[in-house]
């Protein structure tokens, strides 16, 4: 069955066929998506969804920074919000409107540039606001939903919905978003602050990140959630897994909760290494690590 919108509809955005997902994930791996759509704007996205054939699987991505796409790729259509939904603006003195494609670093800079504090932690989140909302991303002690006041979602029929935080079950790196909805935008509430102090704080956080994380080598950030009262990195290192490898994928020696693509790794290499780490920690420490990275797609 064709996965494209109806023949009478021509999207204004960019619709690619058999698009390699390795171009759109921070691990630089992943097989082809049947179709890959970059909307021109909100109306184009709505019309695309309205005209999409029934039962087509829809996958949403931002910067692909918390995503492992298997080597067989993704069936259906992938919709990319980064590059389209990039608006960020003050609603009032303390409130900021942010669209889903805005990178975390831009949120942090915009906030301190407007003498607001409480969003500096976004500088340590490598993905977009939409992805941060979807997983309650956090860094340096801050979490996304700590500052969110409302969000706007869109479902696979093209309907947009305004929701409050009370409509979601929100936990550590988890949010109960309905399966057929994706975040389009949201608002955050911050406190007045000094812009120079905010910039200093961001510089300190980024320096700490550079010193403790292998940011120069393709990775997807923390692979596992921290279990209650412990740290995944400590457990992994205690099992002697620092530097462990499968093919061209390896456990970072700088931060053992990071898995690296040393160049030429496949998604299979990475997934096998994830499973090896998980099984080893469970056997040695009696702790079952939960994957923070989203793994999607088909095996080759």
As annotated, the active-site residues are: 173, 222, 292
Q: What is the DSSP letter of 128?
A: B
The helix, strand and coil proportions of the chain, stated in percent and rounded to the nearest 5, come to 30, 30, 40
Nearest to 24 by CA among 54, 86, 74, 67: 67
How far apart CA 239 and CA 241 sit, in angstroms, is: 6
CA distances for 12 relative to 43, 44, 45, 213, angstroms: 10, 6, 9, 40
75, with CB counted inside 10 A (0-12, 13-18, 19+), is: middle
Between CA 30 and CA 21 the distance in angstroms is 5
Q: Rounded to whole angstroms, how far apart are CA atoms 213 and 54?
A: 43
If we measure between CA atoms, which residue out of 242, 292, 100, 256 comes closest to residue 183?
100
| DSSP line for 215-278 | TTS---S--BPPPTTS-HHHHHHHTT-TT-EETTEEE-SS-TT-EEE-SS--HHHHHHHHHHHH
């Amino acid at each position: 069955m064709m996965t494209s919108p109806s023949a009478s509809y021509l999207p204004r955005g960019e619709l690619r066929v058999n698009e390699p997902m390795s171009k759109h994930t921070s691990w630089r791996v992943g097989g082809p998506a049947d179709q890959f759509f970059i909307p021109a704007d909100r109306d184009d996205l709505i019309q695309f969804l309205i005209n999409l054939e029934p039962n087509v699987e829809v996958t949403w991505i931002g910067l692909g920074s918390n995503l492992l796409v298997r080597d067989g790729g993704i069936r259906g259509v992938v919709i990319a919000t980064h590059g389209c939904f990039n608006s960020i603006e003050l609603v009032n003195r303390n409130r900021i409107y942010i669209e889903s494609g805005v990178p975390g670093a831009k949120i942090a800079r915009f906030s301190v540039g407007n003498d607001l504090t409480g969003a500096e932690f976004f500088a340590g989140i490598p993905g977009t606001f939409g992805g941060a909302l979807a997983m309650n991303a956090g860094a340096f002690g801050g979490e996304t939903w700590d500052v969110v006041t409302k969000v706007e979602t869109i479902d696979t029929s093209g309907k947009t919905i305004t929701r409050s935080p009370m409509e979601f079950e929100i936990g550590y790196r988890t949010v109960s978003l309905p399966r057929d909805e994706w975040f389009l935008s949201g608002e955050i509430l911050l406190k007045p602050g000094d812009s120079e102090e905010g910039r200093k704080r961001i510089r300190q956080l980024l320096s700490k990140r550079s010193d403790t994380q292998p940011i120069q080598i393709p990775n997807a950030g923390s692979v596992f959630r921290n279990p209650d009262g412990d740290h995944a990195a400590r457990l992994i290192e205690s099992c002697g897994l620092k530097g462990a490898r499968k093919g061209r994928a390896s456990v970072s020696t700088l931060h053992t909760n990071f898995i690296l693509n040393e160049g030429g790794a496949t998604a299979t290499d990475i997934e096998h290494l994830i499973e090896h780490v998980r099984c080893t920690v469970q056997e040695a420490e009696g702790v079952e690590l939960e994957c923070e990275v989203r793994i999607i797609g088909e095996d080759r």
